[in-house]
Amino acid sequence: MRLFKHVIGTLLICTTCLFVAKGQDKIWEVDLNSAMKEVNWIEQTNEGFILASGTNGLMALNNKTGETLWHNNELKGAVKGSLKLIEGLPICYIDFAQKGVILNSTNGEILYDTQKDGVRVLNYSIHSDKNLILFELSKGEGTALMSFDLKTLKKQWITELGKAYKVFGFKIDKRISKGPFFTKDESIILGITNNIYTLDLKTGKVIWSFEGKKAVKSLIYSPLNNCLYVGVRKHKMLIILDPKTGEDITPSKFKLKGELVDVVKDKDGNLILVENIGFNIINPETNGAIWPKRAKIANLSEVIPHEKGYIAIVKAEKAGYIYMFDKKGKRIWSEGISGYIYYAASTTKGVMYISTENSNILDFEKGKKVWKKTIKFKAIPAVTFDSKENKVVLFENKKGYKFDLKTGDIEQFANDIKLEKVSKSTPLEAEYIANTGYLLTTPQHVSLLKSDGTLSYTKYYKPASSVKGLKSLAKFGLLAAGIDFDIDGALANINKLKTFTTGSPLVNDDTGDADVQEDNIAGMSVGNSATGEMREVFKVTRERYFNSKKTKEAQFIVNAVKEESGKKHFIYKVDKKSGNVDYKIELLDKTPSYLIDDIDNVIVINEKKHLLSAYQL
């Protein structure tokens, strides 16, 4: 996995750091003892500035010169884990002991102080077409929503949306789980547990609300007919509401015969009503079922729309099924699958699946297996994309495979590859290195598998502190993604594989040739595009944001080494192509505080909790 991005940094250090390698150029050094007393942590903002939090407040420094850009000595005790860098904007949110603030990270201006309203920020979503950011907030034991105007960079309104409830005496926060959706009537619809709220976009006033007896499992707004479709768990009817008034306009005969699983859109704009006993297609114009009878499937888990029809998936612990239906609801074929199906997607050649027992592609016509040899993955495979060969690369269980997206063919190109201290349960991730091969990593492993299937190098570095608990956190991530079976590996690989097989495989984290278009900007303009009255909120060249993904050449790893004088800790800069340690930084504390700016190729280190130094890599 990529251990550091341009906004990552970070562990604490209390003692000195000593550069061991030669030839490293110090760009700048700043002693913040008099200004900050102690620097507790450092981080990097969207613009690239160094944010330093300490005893005497919050400060931002120019990442290229170390010059102080702004210093607010009232913002003391910033909670690093609360820091949210608002994507694409020079705005961030940070919690403090008594309050939280939304800051302009360029000049330090406080755009909003949560203490005034007694709230804290939980999450956010940017809606540039509406010129606003929606902030989800906690307020007492409940949830609130704030509209933040991108034209004025000020709060527009805050609306409270419900209180927390208790299960067996434990408080469960009510978080926004569905939406927000913007209707034709300029209102906002969102779901929180078993509640639905519709708010006026301009004022935040609650227009109407809905409360189900059970949790709202699905919530879909269709602009085609301006209807809101509500699926309540174990409810015997899919509820259809008028989004303007909240009136129930469900046809009287429209009832569920099983338990609602989901409601999803198909390729034609219709809605797929998925029950645990089967599925049907709803015409949004009439709100009626298109098929006279639902496609019956026991224990149905998921339906994937496709231009040729519908792919239905049944998932069970020891065995599952994949079905193909045409657009009239007629079953074309079905295929039994051994093991739990934790990944399924439509590709150009058929339905690709991976289970705990095997994987293959089933063609759309007859469900025939495309791959002559069934591939068995004992864990979630590491995944990357080779842009030169135009193939998805999979690695697991000492074997490497190349999957051709155009032909659907898969070939094994590597066998019996033994990586140092890597087992089935090791959550490996892969990265394509242009004209070289495939980097296989964890925070403590780094190996390079060449394109021809030979191993260039494999190394393991002992962690400076315990990594116990990481596996259990990974399991929690699987459950959060709807995977309820015990599977080893990195969840990110499933998401990457889905992107490659169903989306654009060329969007990858590889280190191929740089693709920098400096004239194009990553940023945001707000206003009225129709009248041409637009104001630029933020502008930064693509070079700042995207070039690093194409040019970074090193992996940074924290390593503990036993020597005669005792245990020492180092930050290693490992060259990805050769595996060589280009240089190392010796640390006298096992939890170093530093950040890697792999865009400007700089490492910034916090020494003695007051001395900040930047070195050119």
Kindly report which listed range (59-63, 178-182, 393-397) carries the lowest average pLDDT score. 178-182
Q: What are the pLDDT digits (tens) for 426-441?
A: 889 999 998 899 999 9
Q: What are the pLDDT digits (tens) for 89-130?
A: 889 999 998 899 999 999 999 999 999 999 999 999 988 888
Which has the higher per-residue pLDDT, 351 or 163?
Answer: 351
* Residues contacting 12, CB < 8 A, separation 6+: 40, 41, 589, 591, 592, 593
Which has the higher per-residue pLDDT, 374 or 156?
Answer: 156
pLDDT band with cut points at 50, 70 and 90 for residue 504: low
Strand partners, 351: 346, 362
Cα(541)–Cα(93) distance, rounded to whole angstroms? 23
Whether the ω angle into residue 180 lies within 30 degrees of 0, i.e. cis, is yes
Which has the higher per-residue pLDDT, 186 or 616?
Answer: 186
pLDDT at 606: 86
* Torsion-angle region of 354 (φ positive above 0: left; ψ -120 to 50: alpha; else: beta): beta
pLDDT band with cut points at 50, 70 and 90 for residue 613: confident
Q: How far apart are the first and last CA of the chain?
A: 20
pTM above 0.75, yes or no: no
Task: Answer yes or no: are the C-beta atoms of 575 and 554 closer than 8 Å.
Answer: yes
pLDDT at 522: 41
pLDDT band with cut points at 50, 70 and 90 for residue 5: very low
Angle between helices 470-480 and 491-502 (to 10 degrees): 40
pLDDT at 417: 96
pLDDT band with cut points at 50, 70 and 90 for residue 39: very high
Reply yes or no on whether the pLDDT at 319 is more than 50.
yes
pLDDT band with cut points at 50, 70 and 90 for residue 529: low
Reply yes or no on whether the pLDDT at 311 is more than 80.
yes
Reply yes or no on whether the pLDDT at 66 is more than 50.
yes
* Torsion-angle region of 372 (φ positive above 0: left; ψ -120 to 50: alpha; else: beta): alpha
Give CB contacts under 8 A, 24+ apart, made by 266-269: 266/305, 266/310, 267/305, 267/306, 267/307, 269/224
Type of residue found at 534: M
Cα(41)–Cα(293) distance, rounded to whole angstroms? 61
pLDDT at 407: 86
Q: What are the pLDDT digits (tens) for 231-282?
A: 887 777 788 899 999 999 887 766 778 887 888 888 888 889 898 899 999 8
What's the whole-number average pLDDT of the chain?
A: 80
Reply yes or no on whether the pLDDT at 13 is more than 50.
no
Q: Which helix (H) or strand (E) holds 615?
A: strand 611-616
Kindly report which listed range (6-10, 205-209, 426-430) carries the lowest average pLDDT score. 6-10
Give the DSSP letter string of 386-445: ETTTTEEEEEETTEEEEEETTT--EEEEE-S---TT--TTS--EEEEETTTEEEEE-SSE
Reply yes or no on whether the pLDDT at 588 is more than 90.
no
